[in-house]
């Protein structure tokens, strides 16, 4: 099973600033990586797939990069609605599909 490790667990950033979230895979997943945003009481929302392709309707301030074992989600200028928990998910080797433990992005 591929283990996904996200860092940091909590990230405090001020609105308007840039946020950088990391995700590391225990073995290469090529570019088979997705990012999701989850707000309290809501379902996850797909942001990025294929490591860097934005899903339909996702603002351009969200960008993904990386390949192999190291991945980054960058939010270029934080808006109030971006404060949430973010999960990465690999789909290279499955079952099982595996998610990271999440990064909580909070207002500084």
Phi, psi of 81 (to 5 degrees): -80, -5
| Shortest distance in whole angstroms from residue 56 CB to other proteins | 8
Size of the site for other proteins (CB under 8 A): 25
Among positions 9-38, residues that touch other proteins (CB under 8 A) are 32, 34, 36
3-state SS, residue 91: coil
Nearer to other proteins, 16 or 96 (CB): 96
> What pairs with residue 33 in β-bridges?
90
- Interface residue with other proteins, options 22, 28, 46, 72 (CB under 8 A): 46
Q: Tell me the Cα Rg of the chain.
A: 13
């Amino acid at each position: 099973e591929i283990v996904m490790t996200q860092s940091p667990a909590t990230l405090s950033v001020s609105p308007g600033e840039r946020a950088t979230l990391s995700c590391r895979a225990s073995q290469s997943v090529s570019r088979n990586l997705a990012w999701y945003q989850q707000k309290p009481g809501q379902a996850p929302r797909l942001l990025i797939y294929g490591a860097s392709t934005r899903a339909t309707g996702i603002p351009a301030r969200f960008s993904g990069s990386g390949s192999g074992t190291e991945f980054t989600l960058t939010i270029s200028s934080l808006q109030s609605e971006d404060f949430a928990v973010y999960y990465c998910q690999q789909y290279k080797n499955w079952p099982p599909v595996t998610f990271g433990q999440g990064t909580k992005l909070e207002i500084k």
